[in-house]
Amino acid sequence: MTGRSAADGWLGNPSPRADDTDRVRALRHAGSPWAGLRTLVLGLGVSGFAVADALLEAGCEVVVVDAAAGEQQRERAQLLQVLGARTHLGPEHLAAPPDGWGAVDLVVTSPGWRPDSPLLAGAGLAGVPVWGDVEVAWRMRPETGAAPWLTLTGTNGKTTTVELTVAVLRAAGLKAASAGNVGTPLVEAMRHPEGYEVLAVELSSYQLHWLSTDTEASLRPLASACLNVAPDHLDWHGSMDAYALAKGRVYENTERAVVYHDADERTLQLVRDADVVEGARAIGLTRGVPAVGMLGVVEDVLCDRAFVPERRSSAAELCTLADLERDGVPAGPHTVDNVLAAAALARAHGVPQAAVRDGVRGFVPAPHRVARVADLDGVRWVDDSKATNGHAAAASLAAFGDVVWIAGGLAKGARFDDLVAGARERLRAVVLLGADRHVLREALARHAPDVPVVEVDLPETAGVPAAAPGADAPTDPRVAAAPALMDAVVARAAELARPGDTVLLAPACASMDQFVSYAHRGDEFAAAVRRRATGR
């Protein structure tokens, strides 16, 4: 963005770029000439299945490829075959399209497929456009009357903030839904029989990576936000710069407001670099007193100096810090950030300030996000299994005083020196588990050498892939081993904790080495705490 305004942000103009063929570039809405388009869909997960179904309904020729061939994939493949798709399951189909690149007009990839996968790399060499599910959904919107999108990304806090945004929108009486990386798949939201008035759209870095650069036809949010950018998924993106660049694409083509946090310099730079619709405003968030054009906090009140006519001389009260408390746990700094971002997106859409208060008060966080499990012998037990990277774990640790920290799992290439250095004064002790616990152990030895560290070293189940077919079945070794593993973790944490402490599961790592998912990890933690409480 260019042309900074002290009051309202920056103004900028889009610089058109096109990377698609003429046939694909013509697809701009649901009434475009989709029929006969030869599409190759990669992946039969939730988004891949929804995309294939939508493309078939639009009259496209659809071929679907997935490396997995489990029961779920086979069932979905059979459904799509009935509708007219051709499906190919198994790793032997990942080298090239079944009929060669000359028979493919468009590749649609599921979010998790890496850019260096043979089919995606081959598409680039063959000059075949590659879209993600977000691009397909945007271009399948109705030609007129389509619901605006409020888009959101960030390393941490995305899902909570999107759901908060929906709560505020609904408190204003709007028919709203969450979609994208959370909630309803976007292509399904586009095909809802009754439609929506507005969508709050969570976008992962994977999804943003695959947006088209055709600015005339691609995603154009009403308002957009990037909550934060911290190291994560570097094994997929290849570098921090590439990861940040993907996150920054959330701002491209924004029409009304781009939202950023003033304490995150990298996000601020992404705003400065973004090509937006002329007249779009940069809206800052701060945990302190807001300047003109920002949302922030005055004493215990969250307030708005961006979307009020008299913003140069006053602010609108949105809610109080007390409205953010849940189960007796005060709001941490990250919760304040999430509420401010949700408020900014919703206010950009025009909701009244009272809707922010009502939406926040009625909001029920999803499980495994700083959830109080129990109080045993003066010790609070808290489940934040959703904290799957260092940035999220740091935010969780900052919400408490003396902590016995449970951490470890799959580090995804991350290092934890900054996390440990920032949290060491809060750490009573640490319990480590998981395949990459050594990375945390080494960071603790460097930056918190006086903090007691114990490791739970039960037999590993790391050989089971994250996307194992039937992952929730009792035969999965992670399911069978999890209760004993978490009982041992909880027992060691209880030995280390003192009255007044908080035992906090905020692993800073992914879960799939020893658990099916972060939710499975959190459920097993809560179950182990309850077993300890009842002596069973």
Q: Over the stretch 380-405, which tens digit does the pLDDT of each residue have? A: 999 999 999 998 899 899 889 999 99
Cross-strand partners of 407: 432
- For residues 509 and 385, the answer to whether their CB atoms sit within 8 Å is no
Give, rounded to a whole angstrom, the gap between the first and last alpha carbons of the chain. 60
* pLDDT at res. 77: 97
- What per-residue confidence (pLDDT) applies to 330? 73
What pLDDT, on a 0 to 100 scale, did the predictor assign at position 521? 97
CA-to-CA separations, 221 to 111, 150, 259, in angstroms, rounded: 20, 6, 12
Q: Which of 280-284, 324-328, 352-356, 360-364 has the lowest mean pLDDT?
A: 324-328
- Written as one string, the DSSP assignment of 110-170 is -TTS-TTSHHHHHHHHHT--EEEHHHHHHHTS-SSSPPPEEEEE-SSSHHHHHHHHHHHHH
53-57, 177-181, 397-401, 472-476: segment of lowest average pLDDT: 472-476
What phi and psi values does residue 223 have, to the nearest 5 degrees?
-145, 155
The count of other CB atoms within 10 Å of the CB of residue 146 is: 16
Could you tell me the two tokens for 167? 């709560």
pLDDT of 462 above 50: no
Please write the tens of the pLDDT for every residue from 270-281: 999 999 999 999
pLDDT over 90 (residue 181): no
Q: Would you state the structure tokens that stand for residue 305, as one six-digit string?
A: 């100096």
User: What value does the mean pLDDT take over residues 421-442?
Assistant: 96
Mention every residue, 6+ apart, whose C-beta is less than 8 A from residue 228.
154, 155, 156, 157, 261, 264, 267, 337, 391
Residue with more model confidence, 430 or 457:
430
Question: Quick check: helix, strand or coil at residue 280?
Answer: coil
What is the DSSP pairing of strand 301-304 with strand 316-320? antiparallel
Please report the pLDDT score of residue 1 as a whole number: 58
Q: How far apart are CA 365 and CA 104, in angstroms?
A: 43
Give the whole-angstrom CA distance, residue 129 versus residue 211: 11
Which pLDDT belongs to residue 536? Answer: 67
Range in 9-13, 56-60, 367-371, 439-443 the model is least confident about = 9-13
Neighbours of 58 (CB within 10 A): 21
Residue 16 has pLDDT above 50, yes or no: no
pLDDT of residue 261 exceeding 90, the answer is: yes
Residue 20 CB-density burial (10 A; 0-12 exposed, 13-18 middle, 19+ buried)? buried
What is each CA distance from 444 to 59, 99, 339, 385, 415, in whole angstroms?
A: 57, 54, 32, 20, 11
Are 81 and 15 in contact by the 8 Å Cβ rule? The answer is no
pLDDT, position 80 = 97
Q: What is the pLDDT of residue 20?
A: 67
Q: What is the pLDDT of residues 314-323, one digit of tens each?
A: 899 999 999 9
pTM of the model: 0.79
| Cβ atoms 80, 52 nearer than 8 A | yes
What pLDDT, on the 0 to 100 scale, is given for residue 414? 86
Classify residue 425 by burial, with Cβ atoms within 10 Å: 0-12, 13-18, 19+: exposed
Over pLDDT 70: what percentage of the chain?
92
**Structure letter (DSSP) for residue 322:** G
Selection from 131, 54, 62, 121 nearest residue 94 by Cα:
121
Mapped to the 3 state alphabet, what secondary structure does 454-508 carry?
EECCCCCCCCCCCCCCCCCCCCCHHHHHHHHHHHHHHHHHHHHCCCCCEEEECCC
Give the residue among 129, 110, 126, 97 at the shortest CA–CA distance from 24: 129
30 in helix, strand or coil? Answer: coil
Distance of CA 107 to the CA centre of its chain: 23
User: CA 296, CA 315: separation in Å to the nearest integer?
Assistant: 10
Average pLDDT of the chain? 89
Task: Summarize the confidence of residues 52-78 as an average pLDDT.
Answer: 96
In this predicted structure, the answer to whether residue 44 has a pLDDT above a threshold of 90 is: yes
Mean pLDDT throughout 276-290?
96
